[in-house]
């Protein structure tokens, strides 16, 4: 498995505060992704990166921003957290070396916005 | 854009009974198909994948899935389930064109509960 860590693993915050989640990988994978998982919705793509400083929006990007200054790190920021952003967030990576794009997942971050 | 439908949100089954988890995807010229498993409070793990060749693919723990192009399906089966198979299962599809972001589109998941 790809070495993917996420921090923090759990976070409770209040509405209106900024929150940054970190994804770190040790596999030198080119592609990185942020998903949110909610009951009844499966996994939905928030943002993704196809290289350092190269990012794009996914299906549910409103209220989120990302940055990737190094290959190994992909940050997800909630500029002003809302209760609707309470969710479990997963980071994933893919090497990009194969056309079929097998993705490897981190352990997740459980975020609660009060 | 691709879409994936998992027809059952929850599937209860008795231990040692067979199970089928259904997955249909929207048609495309070529696709790659995946099943991921998520055990409680964990991330997703790849269970098996169809890339090309034989339409029947197998995992190391007894699951198998069959790619059916005419029915645009990729159903997951196991002839005899164990308690340890209790988990949520996600079907995913990747556009086989290889262009762009190599995104995966996921279904909403099926929770498999194995009853002792």
Residue B20 bridge partners (DSSP): B77
Minimum-distance CB partner of B104 among A41, A56, A103: A103
Minimum-distance CB partner of B43 among A40, A94, A107: A107
User: How would residue B31 be classed by pLDDT, with cut points 50, 70 and 90?
Assistant: confident
Residue B96: the pLDDT is: 61
Residues of A in contact with B6 (CB under 8 A): 42
- Greatest mean pLDDT among B1-10, B16-25, B66-75, B97-106 lies in B16-25
Residue A62: the pLDDT is: 95
Residue B93 to residue B3: CA distance in whole angstroms: 8
* Residue B78 pLDDT greater than 80, yes or no: yes
The residue among A66, A99, A106, A110 with the most chain B CBs within 10 A of its CB, best to mutate, is A99
Is B40 at the interface with chain A, CB within 8 A? no
* Residue B98 pLDDT greater than 80, yes or no: no
Residue B65 to residue B56: CA distance in whole angstroms: 6
Residue B109 to residue A40: CA distance in whole angstroms: 8
* Residue B59 pLDDT greater than 60, yes or no: yes
Q: What six digits make up the tokens of A97? A: 């070396």
φ and ψ of A89, to 5 deg: -110, 130
* Residue A78 pLDDT greater than 60, yes or no: yes
Residues of A in contact with B97 (CB under 8 A): 99
Residue A80 to residue A83: CA distance in whole angstroms: 10
* Residue A60 pLDDT greater than 90, yes or no: yes
Residue A26 to residue A21: CA distance in whole angstroms: 17
Residue B14 to residue A81: CA distance in whole angstroms: 42
Residues of A in contact with B104 (CB under 8 A): 101, 103
């Amino acid at each position: 498995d790809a070495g993917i860590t996420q921090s923090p693993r759990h976070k409770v915050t209040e509405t209106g505060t900024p929150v940054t989640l970190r994804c770190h990988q040790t596999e030198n994978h080119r592609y990185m992704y942020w998903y949110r998982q909610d009951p009844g919705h499966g996994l939905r793509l928030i943002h993704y990166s196809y290289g350092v400083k190269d990012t794009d929006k996914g299906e549910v990007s409103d209220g989120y921003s990302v940055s990737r200054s190094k290959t190994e790190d992909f940050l997800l920021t909630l500029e002003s957290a809302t209760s609707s952003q309470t969710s479990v967030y997963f980071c994933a990576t893919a090497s990009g070396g194969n056309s079929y794009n097998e993705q490897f997942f981190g352990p997740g971050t459980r975020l609660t916005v009060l | 854009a691709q879409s994936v439908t998992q027809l059952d949100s929850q599937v209860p089954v008795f231990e040692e009974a067979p199970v089928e988890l259904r997955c249909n995807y929207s048609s495309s010229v070529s696709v790659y198909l995946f099943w991921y498993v998520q055990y409680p409070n964990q991330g997703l793990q790849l269970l098996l994948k169809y890339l090309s060749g034989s339409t029947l693919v197998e995992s190391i723990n007894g699951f198998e899935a069959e790619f059916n192009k005419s029915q645009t399906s990729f159903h997951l089966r196991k002839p005899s389930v164990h308690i340890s198979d209790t988990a949520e299962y996600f079907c995913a599809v990747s556009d086989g064109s290889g262009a762009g972001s190599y995104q995966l589109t996921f279904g909403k998941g099926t929770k498999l509960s194995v009853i002792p």
